[in-house]
Amino acid sequence: MCPRFRQTSDILRLMSRKEDIRNIGIIAHIDHGKTTMTDSLLAEAGLLSPKIAGEARALDYLEEEQKRGITIKTANISLLHEIENKPYLVNMIDTPGHVDFTGKVTRALRAIDGVIVVIDAVEEVMVQTETVTRQALTERVRPVLFINKVDRLIKELKLSPEEAQNKLLRIIRDFNNLIELYGEKELKDKWKVDPIQGTVAFGSALHKWGFTLEIAQKKGTKFGDVAEAYKKGREQELQKTIPLHNAMLDMVVKHLPNPIEAQKYRVLKIWKGEIESEIGKAMMNCEDDGPTVMCLTSAQLDPHAGLIATGRIFSGTVQEGDQIFLVGTKKDYRVQQVSMYMGAFREIVDKIAAGNIAALLGLDLARAGETLVDIAHKDVMVPFERIKYVSEPVITVALEPKHPKDLPKLIDVMHRLAVEDPNLAATINKDTGEYLLSGM
């Protein structure tokens, strides 16, 4: 039996238990280890075979792509984590790119309720740590902290346990200063991270180990033991005694909110409609049988499937055949297909309910940032707040194909770029006949 199908039904069951769902992302300064950590989580807790991590993953994707004739892009990875035999579903939304020139991180944040902020233990808090943390706080997305590359403190910097501890404490303090600076008054004290509370983990994404203080206590592991393991060249063992995915997912499940909790304060921030209205109440309570309301966070043009619109369902249930309305474009559509991302693959499903992430086909003018509502509520729906970007388009380039016969291809590509990046504009200068692309 193909494990994927078995697991899809598992996921669908989990998706109906909202208390057990976490929608999260990983954000970091460039090179601090976001990709390494994502790959490791996917390999160890992802709902596809462990083979797909690293190199093998790329191959699997290509094979699968050929088999199915669709282009596969990772928009969302679903991870499974058990605490005391109880399964939790962790949906990890891809937050691509560190320098957020295209605004992709900002858009992805709209779909999630919590983030793991990765900080390199050697480099400490950097400019983009500040930018992405600020963006998360602006969207009322709660952070937990992972201090990565602790192996380098031991192997390269050769710090004593005391020196290492001081450095780690400084990182935590600096990170909390960011929360103090950019967090909202009512939330920031609660959201500051603290190793004793379990909202900070330490480890090495490269060597796949990590711990929170709770885990370290339970396992009887001390910092000295980790240093000792490196000295003896036995760091491989740490992967087994204190596996990274366990620390990360424990922290996520225990300290980041489920969609029901999160929507109660996030909706107030990202939607300015009447909270006491039918739609307002349904979103605040993350109701499956309320009006369908979705905030689209990504639009991708697939050569076979057409436009794939992905977003977070804040209320109601989306089903194939539903008549929906896009508030920004003012167009109604029939949903042609509902799917969810599992690993990097899109799985077609019957329906997806509030608090989850869904990918929809058939909405050709849908763009990231759009508000989707069921047709019955089209006249009363107030759109979501505009997603705030850190920068505005600043450059314009004129493009021309090397060979004039390739002009249609150029136009096609420019169109696709503009669909996927709402901050990009493709225009034609009628006077000069130039093809212009403006963006960040």
Q: Which of residues 89-128 bind ligand GDP (CB under 6 A)?
A: none
The set of residues, in sequence order, having a beta carbon less than 8 Å from that of 328 and lying 6+ positions away, is 367, 369, 370, 371, 383
Least Å from the CB of residue 248 to ligand GDP: 13
SS3 state of residue 208: coil
171/202 Cα distance (integer angstroms)? 11
Distances (CA, A) of 93 to 17, 63, 79, 322, 420: 19, 23, 11, 25, 16
Count of positions on this chain that bind ligand GDP (CB under 6 A): 15
Work out whether 374 is an interface residue with ligand GDP (CB under 6 A).
no
Cβ nearer to ligand GDP, comparing 200 with 283: 200
Closest to ligand GDP by CB, 31 or 434: 31
Which C-beta is closer to ligand GDP: that of 152 or that of 416?
152
Footprint on residues 192-251 left by ligand GDP (CB under 6 A): 204-206
Cα distance between residue 218 and residue 213, in whole Å: 8
For the bound state, the minimum distance from the C-beta of residue 330 to ligand GDP, rounded and expressed in Å, comes to: 39
Q: How many CB atoms sit inside 10 A of residue 402's CB? A: 7
Amino acid at position 179, single letter: I
CB closer to ligand GDP out of 147 and 308: 147
Copy the structure tokens of residue 421.
Answer: 């990046």
Residue 148 as a binder of ligand GDP (CB under 6 A): the answer is yes
Buried b / exposed e over 356-380, threshold 16 CB at 10 Å, is bbbbbbbbeebbbbbbbbbeebeee
- Residue 319 is a binding residue for ligand GDP (CB under 6 A): no
Q: For residues 27 and 270, which CB has a smaller minimum distance to ligand GDP in the complex?
A: 27
**Helix and strand tally (H, E) in the chain?**
15, 20
Q: Which is nearer to ligand GDP, 27 or 47 (CB)?
A: 27
CB 309 within 8 Å of CB 294: no
Least distance (Å) between residue 35 CB and ligand GDP: 3
38 or 292: CB nearest ligand GDP: 38
Question: Which span sits near ligand GDP by CB under 6 A: 146-154, 235-243, 282-290, 398-406?
Answer: 146-154
Of 368, 371, 373, give the one whose Cα is nearest residue 385: 371
Q: Binders of ligand GDP among 19-58, rule CB under 6 A?
A: 28, 30-36
Shortest gap between Cβ of 210 and ligand GDP (angstroms)?
9
Binding site for ligand GDP (CB under 6 A): 28, 30-36, 148-149, 151-152, 204-206
